[in-house]
Structure 1
Amino acid sequence: MPIDNSIVHQIHKKPDGQPASLTLREAELANSEALEQLLAGLIEAYNSKPNKAWGYFHEESGAYPFSGWLQQLIDQELDFVNFTAKASEQLKTLMEASNLALGGHVLFIRYRQGMTAFLVIALLHHTEGVTVTDNLDVAAARHLDLSALNMAARINLTEWKQNASSKQYISFIRGRSGKRVSDYFRDFIGCVEGANPEEETTTLLQAFQDYVGEADMEPVVVKDKTKAMSSYVSGQARQGEQVALEELSGLMDEAQPRAFYDYIRNKDYGLSPEIPPDKRTLNNFMRFYGKADGLSISFEAHLLGERVEYDESDDSLVIKHPPKGLVQQLQKKKR
């Protein structure tokens, strides 16, 4: 992922209502192996977050100036250092109005992935650890804690400029304690929440069930299509990419690559050509799970009707060919 520009500033603020202060870096970061590793780790951490929201820019105004500064950057009317300084000052101001906000290092990286340009902004914090030195001494070591990433946004610059009607070229992480924690960060970006990953994925899965059900497909065909669908959707979620319905349709049926895509369009499920995936919703769709009174059962959905049978008349579940480890435990207990 080639890096075009990067810089770090620092906002000093504690969640105690006291005024914040800002320390600005005066020049861009030089590209280095360490910076590339930071970007790779940041993107991996960002993609793994399940609590992301998607949206688009508010119309530029005094309350939401970020998109205007970003446009000036793209038009080369504003250089990267000054763009990030203005943005960081705006973020500091919004953080001062939030008692929940905690300062940190504000990282801006503009990079390219293939033909697509992105801008990622993250509020980073340090954690204390230990290391073994070259002299084999144990010493304290301070490092960025990417696992605790909870304030970050990624803007698809290419999508923003080439698709004016798009409602999902911005994504950002919602705070762990709910939307209220990250409201100031969303407002800093000037983002209007658009697509809801959970709702969009639920609608996609319902469309898939309707599609295979109306086509009266053989169980083995349904199983293959389910596997192709889940593999693609979960892969896109893992990479932080959107699900392209036309691409998904082609993976599900090479002989009729547009069949599922045309079905969705004709039935008017209200899905955009690309939707943000929600891995948790997909996982719930792909598995059956239940727990009560000391009994816990979980199995993949495609096993129902094959190795797992449910008899509604006497409310019983029959499991054929149970796991060997479980069988061995039962045999030992019986003896």
Structure 2
Amino acid sequence: MSISNLIVHEIQKHEGERKAILIARPNENPVDSQAEALSAQVTNLFNRSGMNTGRFANPQGSDEGSQLPGLLYKHFKDNDFADFAAFTKDCAAEYLKHLESVEEAEGGLLWFNHYELHDTHFLYIVMLKRKKGIGLGADLSLSQIEQIEMEKLHMALRINLTAWQSGDEGRYIAFRFGRAPKFESEYFTHFIGCDEPKAAAKETRKLVDLTSAFCQAEGIPSKQANEFKKVVSEHCQSKAEEREPLEIKDIASQVESRFSVEQANKFLEIADSDSFKMEKEIFVEKAALKKLTRLSGSSRALTLSFDSELLGESIKFDADSGTLVIKDLPKSLLKQLQAVSD
């Protein structure tokens, strides 16, 4: 990641008040080791679970709705911001308008970071909060200090500027709320101006269900189906690690290489059906992939989970009686069973 521009502004607003004050930094923050460390921490927190994705409702801006795309259209040209400080000040002033409409909301630090990764330009807009801490002076005396809270992100937005500027129809916006209450997530969504936001976890679960539905509709034997699901899972995980969207046509290509062109077309047909209506590309959430390669279930007294490839091998299922027969038990469980049976 190569940071091009970085600046922090502050919005002061107390809970229970409408009035907010913008304290704008006049020029950019230096891109030093501390800025790079903060950027790395934000990126790590941002890529955890709870992602939402979307695109601008008005990509080039308009008088109505969010003014963010219009500000980008005005200030971002040829992969560069002519005046990053001016752009972010305008953005912060627009953010303040949305914040003032919510009495319960509080202010914080607005962190803007324009960076380049693999010839692609991105913009972070992140709401950071201050917190109290204890500092230790040179004479080993203790004192109370203020620092940036980095255990969690409150609200954060990342825009793929390159995709947006090229008119890409994909979901070039990614954002998350952390544990922000609903009234905060709503004003932040209005500030972004995102068209039909989608939760990455929900979209990933739809892909998992789509893969299973395809295997069932085509009558693919259990062993082949499990192998295919494992390939899909690995492909999805690599995209998640690279922080890139997954294109549904890539999964169709996997179908074609393993089965046939006709079945690849069938996969896309199911994906586009009323039952799924999959987007052309989605952001993957790793935790939601588990059902692709594992079977699990629980009740108040029992929890059971195992790799799906074991079904038909060391685990046999009798559909008529609804029972499982499990061989090759884990040694630790086997010892416990032997101990209680003595």
More off after superposition, 324-333 vs 51-60? 51-60
> Distance in 2 between the 1:63 and 1:319 partners?
58
Counterpart contact for 1:55–1:167, Cα < 8 Å: yes
TM superposition shift of 1:118:
0.6
The answer (yes or no) to whether the contact 1:132–1:138 under 8 Å persists in 2 is yes
TM-aligned CA distance change 1:126 to 1:317, over 3 Å: farther
1:310 deviates by 3.0
Distance 2:306 2:142 in 1: 46
> What secondary structure does 2:151 align onto?
helix
Q: What is the TM-score with the length of structure 1 in the denominator?
A: 0.85
- Residue 265 and residue 252 in structure 1: after superposition, are their counterparts in 2 closer, same or farther (change >3 A)? closer
Distance of 1:259 and 1:128 partners within structure 2? 62
Contact (CA 8 Å) 2:153, 2:177: kept in 1 or not? no
Match of 1:316 in 2: 323
Corresponding residue for residue 159 of structure 1: 163
1:190 and 2:187 matched? no
Q: Distance in 2 between matches of 1:261 and 1:211?
A: 10
**Paired residue for 2:128, among 121, 124, 129?**
124
SS of corresponding position for 2:313? coil
After superposition, what is the alpha-carbon deviation per residue over 1:283-305, rounded to whole angstroms, capped at 9, x for unaligned? Answer: 34443333324322222333333
Equivalent of 2:87, from 83, 87, 107?
83
Indicate the residue corresponding to 2:63 in structure 1. 61
Identical-pair percentage: 27
Structure 1 residue 212: deviation in Å? 3.1
Letter in 2 for 1:25: R
Q: Which residue of 2 aligns with 1:265?
A: 268
- The 3-state SS of whatever aligns with 1:48 is coil
Runs of 4+ that moved beyond 6 A: 131-139, 255-260
CA displacement, residues 18-59 of structure 1 (integer Å, 9 cap, x when unaligned): 422121111111111221221121111111032424232435
Cα distance in 2 for residues equivalent to 1:223 and 1:77: 49
Aligned length: 334
1:139 positional shift: 6.5
Map residues 82-231 of structure 1 onto 2, 5 A cutoff. Answer: 82-129=86-133, 142-164=146-168, 166-174=169-177, 176=179, 179-231=182-234
Mapped contact 1:56–1:193 kept (Cα < 8 A): no
Q: Distance in 1 between matches of 2:63 and 2:233?
A: 41
- Read off the aligned partner of 2:239 and give its amino acid letter: Q
Partner in structure 1 of residue 309 of structure 2: 302
- In the other structure, the counterpart of 2:19 is 19
Q: 1:199 to 1:310 in 2, by over 3 A?
A: same
Q: Distance in 1 between matches of 2:82 and 2:22?
A: 20
Cα displacement string for residues 75-111 of structure 1 (whole angstroms, at most 9, x for unaligned residues): 3785110111111111112111113322111000011
> 1:64 corresponds to which letter in structure 2?
S
Post-superposition offset of 1:66: 1.4
Check whether the contact 1:55–1:192 (CA below 8 A) recurs between aligned residues: yes
Q: In the aligned structure 1, how far is the partner of 2:129 from the partner of 2:176?
A: 15
**Residue of structure 1 aligned with 2:338, choices 323, 331, 334:** 331
CA shift in 2, pair 1:284/1:157, >3 Å: same
Q: Who is 1:74 aligned against? A: 76
Residue of structure 2 in register with 1:41 after alignment:
41
Q: Tell me whether 197-206 or 295-304 shows the greater mean CA deviation.
A: 197-206
- Provide the aligned C-alpha RMSD in A: 3.1
SS at match of 1:147: coil
Q: Deviations over 1:300-323 (max 9, x none)?
A: 333333333333433333222121
Partner in structure 2 of residue 2 of structure 1: 2
Q: Any stretches of 5+ residues in structure 1 without a counterpart?
A: none
Unaligned runs of 5+ in 2: none
1:282 to 257, 277, 289: 289
Change in CA separation of 1:135 and 1:114 when aligned onto 2, cut-off 3 Å: farther
Q: Which moved more, 1:57-66 or 1:263-272?
A: 263-272
Query: Aligned with 1:60: secondary structure?
Result: coil
Question: Normalized against structure 2, the TM-score is what?
Answer: 0.84
